[in-house]
């Protein structure tokens, strides 16, 4: 039984990562933990605890890290966008 629960938790954490990584910058900028929980049909507290246990990082920190990685990638590839505009799109105010 314990193995099945861990598999379920692993799958949930993987689904969360996939959900985050497939958002565009505007969606990522407005993304909340509650929205993820609602989309995946789990309680927010369960989602946060499971994600932290499986990924060894808090969900909010993971989202912030992904925003920063996206910003670096976009700024490296697109000189036409300003840091201010990009930071606004990614939810850094």
Stretch (H or E) spanning 3:
helix 2-21
DSSP states of 53-77 as a string? HHHSS-HHHHHHHHHHHHHHHHHHH
Nearest Cα residue to 42 out of 11, 63, 65: 11
pTM of the model: 0.84
Contact status, residue 40 vs residue 19, Cβ threshold 8 Å: yes
d(CA 40, CA 44): 10
Question: What would the pLDDT profile of 13-34 be if each residue is shown by its tens digit?
Answer: 999 999 999 999 889 999 999 9
Question: Which one is predicted more confidently, 5 or 37?
Answer: 37
């Amino acid at each position: 039984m314990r193995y099945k629960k861990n598999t379920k938790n692993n799958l949930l954490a993987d689904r969360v990562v996939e959900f985050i990584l497939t958002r565009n910058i505007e969606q990522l900028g407005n993304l909340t933990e509650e929205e993820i929980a609602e989309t995946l049909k789990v309680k927010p507290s369960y989602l946060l605890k499971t994600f932290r246990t499986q990924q060894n990082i808090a969900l909010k920190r993971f989202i912030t890290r992904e925003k920063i990685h996206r910003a670096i990638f976009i700024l490296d590839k697109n000189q036409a966008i300003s840091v201010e505009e990009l930071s606004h799109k990614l939810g850094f105010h």
